[in-house]
Amino acid sequence: MLTIRAADVDDAPAIAKVHVDTWRTTYGGIVPQHYLDSLTVQNRSLGWVRLLERTTTGLMTLVSEDHDGRVVGFISAGPLRHRDTRFQAEISSLYVLKRHHESNHGRRLFLAASNRLAQRGYKGLFVWVLANNPARGFYERMGGVQVAEVTRAFAGKPLHEIGYGWDETPRYGT
């Protein structure tokens, strides 16, 4: 059974493991290899503990568990981090272990976060995705429309990003 629930500080190591594993399996050949090689579950765990301990940012993090109760994916979303009057909310990260891509974990995480954002009154949803990310089409299948493009330096390499937007924060099954 697939379970979606709010993350807590105790989930930090599991979230960090998913974060590191997904970056390594998804971004090889896209993000500089030296950066991927430098990622550690321990360092990411510390960052996730700090993030999950914050209660004033409006950021939510949800985890998806498989039938054995193991965290296999997560999503973080909250207020928009840049200025764009079309959108109030943003997905800052959504990662699911590759072996679970066909198990609806990503879709269910997206839907759960979107519902929570809509319930909080956020209008419009936004997400940045690396242009070369093989999972980019997921956001198009979820109804996102390309609304922005940018190239930013990351670990010494220019990376092209695509911004997807939803004029209204999608609500599902409510």
Lowest mean pLDDT among 78-87, 92-101, 135-144, 147-156: 78-87
Say whether pLDDT at 148 is over 60.
yes
Q: What is the pLDDT averaged over residues 154-172? A: 89
Catalogue all structural domains in the chain, each as residue range(s) with its CATH number. Answer: 3-166 (3.40.630.30)
Instruction: Tokens 């960090």: give the residue.
Output: 16
Taking the model in full, what pTM does it have?
Answer: 0.94
Residue 119 CB coordination number (10 Å): 11
Indicate if the pLDDT at residue 173 is higher than 80: no
Residues 6+ apart with CB under 8 A from 119: 174
